Amino acid sequence: MTSAAVSVRGLTRRFGEVVAVEGLSFEVKTGELFGIVGPDGAGKTTTLRMLAGVMRPSGGDALIRGRSVVSEPEAVKPHIAYMSQRFGLYEDLTVGENIAFYAELYEVPRSVLPGRLERLYEFSQLAPFEGRLAGDLSGGMKQKLGLCCALVHEPDVLLLDEPTFGVDPISRRDLWLIVHDMVARGTTVIVSTAYMEEAERCDRVALMNRGRLVGLDHPRRLHEGLGGEVISVRVSEPRRAVEWLAGVPHVRSAALLGDSMRIMLGDGEEAWSSVRTSLEEQGIAVLEAAPARPSLEDVFVELVERERSGKNPERSGND
């Protein structure tokens, strides 16, 4: 039955006393674009390193195409590509030499190499820089080159650790085009990111916090599972308003965003009218109020909040 490309079972990693990843379990289907989202220190990098077979788990296991990263990491490696956060390019080699080096390491047959190079150069637009030293490339181009090196053996599973970290918006868009292209060709992609808007591009996302899984679903359904609504409000005294709202019933959270407030409400429409009344009683005028689309960030904050207060994260439709 298992069409799972990646199957993670109770994966755990400790560094001395610190638990970086704890009891992580999820499955990724073949051809899926799977996101791992969380703040710095959530355990994203550690998770990807274990999946790539470069770090030994303290407990649990992960199967990649049925092969265990614990018992046979070397058997996993030919089928995956791993791109670490700061891709370790050889800066004193040229663009072409870097790609050729990885092609040799992965034993890409010489007969198919020219075709692949052509395609990699085409979508990365690195062809004009083939003879340039990798160290002389811009940050975005380095990441693209890293991706080319990772893709030269056409892996089944692509593991990307914050590929767009510190990359300019244009290159970021280019990188995502490449990723989507790979997914369209049937590659399974697991990508970690700290940017919530990037996570929304994924088929499914795992939300991680402090080494634990706090949510796992389609981004849209995670929104729906929220069970409340988010309202964007402009008021006369935003600072005082945020402080006041912390203790008001129906309000799950309130945060300043520029000159407006984002309020996450509990249940239904009556909630807003009661909150509004409460604000006006305090002498705070509501200038403007509009329902806002909850972002994955809202979901994340909410799920972490629930986890902290001891309630189980809601998991729906884990197909």
Partner 1 sequence: MFAIARKEAIQLVRDSRSMILAFLLPMLLILVFGFAITLDVRNIRLAVLDESMTPESRHLVDAFEESGYFSVERYLDRHGEADELLVGGRVTAVLVIPPAFAADLAAEGTARVQLLLDGSDANTATIALNYADAISHDFSSDVLPDWRTARRSISPELRVWYNETLESRNMIVPGLIAVLMSIIAAMLTSLTIAREWERGTMEQLAATPVHRVEVIVGKLMPYVGIGLVDVALATLVGVFLFDVPLRGSVSLLFAMTFLFLLGALGFGIFLSAVLKSQVLAIQASIMVTYLPAMLLSGFIYAIANMPPFLQVVSYAIPARYFITITRGIFLKGVGIETLWGSALGLAVYAVIGLGLALHAFRKELA
Q: Is residue 176 a contact point for partner 1 (CB under 8 A)?
A: no
What backbone phi and psi angles, to 5 degrees, belong to 259? -95, 5
Q: Could you give the 3-state DSSP secondary structure of residue 57?
A: coil
Query: At its nearest, how many Å lie between partner 1 and the CB of residue 113?
Result: 13
Q: Is 161 helix (H, G, I), strand (E, B) or coil?
A: strand
Q: Which stretch binds partner 1 (CB under 8 A): 105-113, 206-214, 272-280, 301-309?
A: 105-113
| Residue range at the interface with partner 1 (CB under 8 A); choices 93-101, 109-117, 121-129, 277-285 | 93-101
Q: Is 250 a binder of partner 1 (CB under 8 A)? A: no
Pick the closer one to partner 1 by CB: 100 or 292: 100
Number of residues that bind partner 1 (CB under 8 A): 30
Shortest distance, CB of residue 55 to partner 1, whole angstroms?
A: 5
Question: In the range 21-80, which residues lie near partner 1 by CB under 8 A?
Answer: 49, 52-56, 74, 77-78, 80
Q: Following DSSP, what letter does each residue of 160-210 receive, concatenated?
A: EESTTTT--HHHHHHHHHHHHHHHHTT-EEEEEES-HHHHTTSSEEEEEET
| Cα–Cα distance, 2 to 33 (Å, whole number) | 17
Query: How far, in Å, CA of 239 to CA of 230, rounded?
Result: 18
* SS3 category, 41: coil
- Over the window 111 to 150, marking each residue x when it contacts partner 1 by CB under 8 A and - when it does not, the resulting string is --------------------------------------x-
Structure tokens at 261: 């407030």
DSSP strand pairing (67-68 vs 18-29)? unpaired
Q: Judged by CB under 8 A, does residue 8 bind partner 1?
A: no
Q: Looking at beta carbons only, is 191 or 279 nearer to partner 1?
A: 191
When binding is defined by CB under 8 A, the residue of 11, 57, 62, 82 that contacts partner 1 is: 82
Q: Which of 278, 65, 47, 244 is nearest to 159 (CA)?
A: 47
Q: How far is the CB of 75 from partner 1 (least distance, A)?
A: 9
> According to the binding rule CB under 8 A, does residue 102 interact with partner 1?
yes
Residue 93 as a binder of partner 1 (CB under 8 A): the answer is yes
Name the DSSP letter for residue 94.
B
- Pick from 164, 195, 196, 194: nearest CA to 179: 164
Q: Which is nearer to partner 1, 97 or 305 (CB)?
A: 97
Per CB under 8 A, 88 contacts partner 1 = yes
| Cβ proximity of 285 and 236 under 8 Å | yes
Residues in the chain: 319
Shortest Cβ distance from residue 49 to partner 1 (Å)? 6
Here the tokens at position 305 are 């909040």
Instruction: Give the nearer residue to partner 1 in terms of CB position, either 13 or 204.
Output: 13
Binding interface with partner 1 (CB under 8 A): 49, 52-56, 74, 77-78, 80-84, 86-93, 97, 101-102, 104-107, 149
